[in-house]
Structure 1
């Protein structure tokens, strides 16, 4: 009969199966902070009339080009963070959960948001570029720049839908598979429910941007500090 020692079992186990903190998950925290800052700073300062009246093309004259450019840079950094985090998730988590579809949905959701937000934040950069204070001011007339304003109004918010889908998958992992802590599963339900309520009740397409970054900050802080193996209680979807 073969006898296995504790030392042998520890060395043979996947790296993340060992009970230790996961510094790679800090990428998710930083990405959430960057994305939240970039999205909520869409136009750098309020340009909407205080009386709640509508907007016309003249609104572009009140856009803070410098602040918008900062949001664009932070947004692109967030996109890079999503790509890195998806790769880290695939390296550290998915090999330990080979039968979990939900685990793969998490990484796919991060990638989907990275692709969509490239356009959302890119339009923000174009708004700063062609604004009256931008390097290529005058390339478009006021109506042309207004198009970029309209795209920027919701673009950086809509792109977070993939992250909300990832949150839903993490909720399944925590509450059904039990491969993540239960509290992370509960936290994952919140952005999904919030987004559904906004979509159904108001048709606001930018709802994911209100929840995605916050979910990443909370969830990946928990993952970074947790010593719980991903494989505990796993049941594949």
Structure 2
């Protein structure tokens, strides 16, 4: 699983620890160091020590600064590393995306301009490489939680957390959505965050149905072309 030291990731790790022995899972922790702040290496080392104390296998990788100059490049690097590690271990990759991330992503996609697929980009599960359905799967089990709930999980389970100062930087569009846009929307339409996140889920189901219909249509055409 992808663990980044923050409250969402640590909540995922805490919940997974309670389940993996029960379900006989083998749990691996992967951490990507983008080097975006001065404490990045210290946080990585602290997480590795935390995993060692709990006998959890830890994989840490540090990015070349030229490959993670922006959010999009950092995300691409992270998914590439996760796919490589997941393939080697033959494991499902789990990330700690929450309902909070889902609503922020939908708003960002709307603002940038997108199609139906873009509006439902944070799915519960998909191939980590979008056009390789038989490859390693990416799972997002924390989408049922808001960030305030993952904070409560960390407090209840007494899980350590390390603050990432880049999460407050206005240089990142997602941070401005989180700290400036969403508070205004919640003030105007209380509970809108949950409704936005739910809309993302409903759009995902619609897109899946449309894609299945397209695939069935293409399959029928293929059969007809081979059986004149």
Q: TM-score, structure 1 length as denominator?
A: 0.25
- Greater relative contact order structure (CA < 8 Å, 6+ sep): 1
Task: Answer 1 or 2: which has greater strand percent.
Answer: 2
